[in-house]
Amino acid sequence: MKYLILIAILAGPGADDPTALLEQIIIIPGVSGHEERVREAIRERLPEWAAKVAVEDEHGNLIVEVGEGKPWVLFVAHMDETGLEVMKIADDGSLVVRHRGGFLPTLYEGEIVEVHAKEGVVPGVVPPRERGQGRFGYDSIRVVLGTRSAEETQGLGVAVGDTITVPKRFDPMLGGKKMGRGMDDRVGSAAILWAIRELDPEALSKKVTFVWSTEEEIGLEGAKGLAAVKKPDFVFAVDTYVSSDSPRESPRFGHVRLGEGAVVRAIDGSNIAPFNDVMRLLDLARDRKIPLEYGVTGGGNDGSAFVPGGAVDLPIAWPLRNSHTAVEIIHAGDLMALSRLVVAIAEEF
């Protein structure tokens, strides 16, 4: 599989569908505050017209803006993922870290990790808790590289500020499903990247802005910075719908099944979308024969940062199992539906 991933990276911009684009960008590390490689990979895959107008703002957001007129529509998907950052190299050579974004600390316990140093990846492990230790929290995570001193660790090229993730992968599963780490929000990033490649900029009758944002997982920081200067009429945050479509979860909350299309996050932890606008989206999708559902889930979205400036926040998503873990699961058909929905909104909403 590693060889297939390498081929996907080398394949570069020539992807025919959003799943192929996702495969190319999901394996690139981009812990919050360190999205540089993801941003450049997306920039390299923009169509020629978009690459000419693409800009990076002071917050690291990548922005493509096209067209004029009303309503002004803005799409935003975040580039960052949860992970760890090196805070200190201890005298024994181990790494003292801090978490970037929220996840269950036990997911790192006893796991292999990768330190993304300047000169390349350095493998390490997170040792399991000692006998008698009851709790394994964020402060229990310590990364061991096999060294015995700070000098040996520094000799590997590891430095304070380097990021750490579990090994990145993208594997097929039965029934059109895909498994990997960082679906949140590389799926959204791939969806708007594919959509922008499908659009004819000369045919748009309104102003449309596409944004790949930074530091969403640690407080919507990139979106907040952008919202201070851009005041769209509608903002479509393209992000995860944390679904309970799992054999172990209750269907009473967030139950949207994988494989049945895109989703409108009608209500989440940061926003309530206006009912009439949700209905407009459903009508548009029906007219374009795009499978689309709506539901209530947890979490926040980048679009909520634009609401104080007068924007209507209509988050669109795909169903995801096992959010913020190394085994996030999506359905490829949902990604295609989401990508087509972005095109439809840009052209007709």
User: CATH topology for 83-165?
Assistant: Elongation Factor Tu (Ef-tu); domain 3 (2.40.30)
Q: What is the pLDDT of residues 332-342, one digit of tens each?
A: 999 999 999 99
pLDDT at 253: 79
196, 17 Cβ separation under 8 angstroms: no
Mean pLDDT (whole number) for 63-74: 96
Q: What's the average model confidence in pLDDT over 262-285?
A: 95
Domain coordinates in residue numbering, the chain? 2-81+181-348, 83-165
Give percent of the chain with pLDDT exceeding 90.
Answer: 84
d(CA 158, CA 106): 24
| Crossing angle for the helix pair 36-44 and 18-26, to the nearest 10 degrees | 150
Q: Are 164 and 113 in contact (CB under 8 A)?
A: yes
Closest CA to 314 of 279, 348, 344: 279
Local confidence band at 10 (pLDDT 50, 70, 90 cut-offs): very low
Q: How confident is the model at residue 286 (pLDDT cuts 50, 70, 90)?
A: very high
* Predicted local distance difference test score (pLDDT) of residue 243: 85
User: Contacts from 139-143 at CB under 8 Å and sequence distance 24+?
Assistant: 140/105, 140/109, 141/84, 141/97, 141/99, 141/105, 141/108, 141/109, 142/90, 142/94, 142/95, 142/96, 142/97, 143/84, 143/86, 143/94, 143/95, 143/97, 143/113, 143/115
pLDDT at residue number 7: 37
| pLDDT tens figures, 313-331 | 999 999 999 989 989 999 9
pLDDT at 15: 57
- pLDDT of 2 strictly over 70: no
Is it the case that residue 14 has pLDDT exceeding 60? no
pLDDT at 12 over 50: no
Structure tokens at 308: 């104080």
CB 208 within 8 A of CB 63: no
Q: Is the peptide bond before 71 cis (omega within 30 degrees of 0)?
A: yes
Q: What is the CA radius of gyration of the chain?
A: 20
C-alpha 300/C-alpha 216 separation (Å) is 9
For residue 4, the model assigns a pLDDT of: 39
What is the pLDDT, as a whole number, of residue 246? 78
User: pTM (2 decimals)?
Assistant: 0.92
Mean pLDDT of 295-307: 92
Which CATH architecture best describes the domain 2-81+181-348? 3-Layer(aba) Sandwich (3.40)
CA distance 58 to 74: 18
Give dist(CA 73, CA 51) in Å, integer: 19
Q: Identify whether the C-beta of residue 64 lies closer than 8 Å to the C-beta of residue 209.
A: yes
